[in-house]
Amino acid sequence: MIKLAFCLKRLPALTPMELRDYWFDRHAPLVTKHREVLRIRRYVQMHMTDTAMNAAMRASRGGPEGYDGVAELWWDSIDDIATNDSPEARAAALELLEDERKFIDLARSPLWFGSARAVF
């Protein structure tokens, strides 16, 4: 399995709640709509919780400001992504990107592919 991790920072004009609502209620159905053509096997949203524990954890490690959330997407293989260049897949990917521009600060939101290795 190959996994995409997308660490999201919201656009400055949005509150954390507005981001969570849009991301879950509007964007998630769009990803679901395109899951077959994009060969996505699993999609999970991890929303940051507003808790003092986040600040304490960050401070204890001297870490940077956190993200508003993390999107995780799984595929069977990197080939399922790399070889998926059909007109339908390109159109679906473009539609998702255009929607992401409505709520994600893309310049401040890193994303990368990796393989998960379970420890326990």
Q: Per-residue pLDDT tens for 87-103?
A: 999 999 999 999 999 99
pLDDT tens track for 14-65:
999 999 999 999 999 999 999 999 999 999 999 998 778 888 888 999 988 8
What DSSP state is assigned to residue 104? Answer: B
Question: Taking Cα atoms as reference points, which of 17, 19, 21, 45 lies closest to residue 31?
Answer: 45
For the chain, strand residue ranges (E) read: 2-8, 42-47, 69-75, 111-114
Residue 47 buriedness (CB in 10 A; 0-12 / 13-18 / 19+): middle
